[in-house]
Amino acid sequence: MKAFPRPNTVHPDDLGMDLRDYFAAKAMQSLIIAYATIESNLKMHEIINGSYQYADAVMEARNEQVR
């Protein structure tokens, strides 16, 4: 599923951002802000992985609501 579908695009790879990637980006923004304001040993890949864990949880909850 795409977050911002572009059905009239000519290039098939330009159909929009994946909804999971959109949710991960939103979570990543918050995680970066949270950890930029406090001392933390959290590494960049941990923030990225955590962002996708949040995105996966949102997608799972969303799928349950759609049913």
Q: Within 10 A of 45 (CB to CB), how many other CB atoms are there?
A: 8
Q: Give CA–CA dist 31/33, Å, rounded.
A: 5
pLDDT of residue 5: 61
- Summarised one tens digit per residue, pLDDT across range 9-58 is 666 666 667 888 899 999 999 888 887 666 566 678 888 899 999 999 99
Best CA proximity match to 40, nearest among 53, 52, 25, 50? 50
Task: For the chain, give every domain's residue range.
Answer: 19-66
pLDDT of residue 14: 61
Q: Give CA–CA dist 66/6, Å, rounded.
A: 22
Helix intervals (H) in the chain: 19-36, 44-66
Which residue shows structure tokens 């969303």?
62
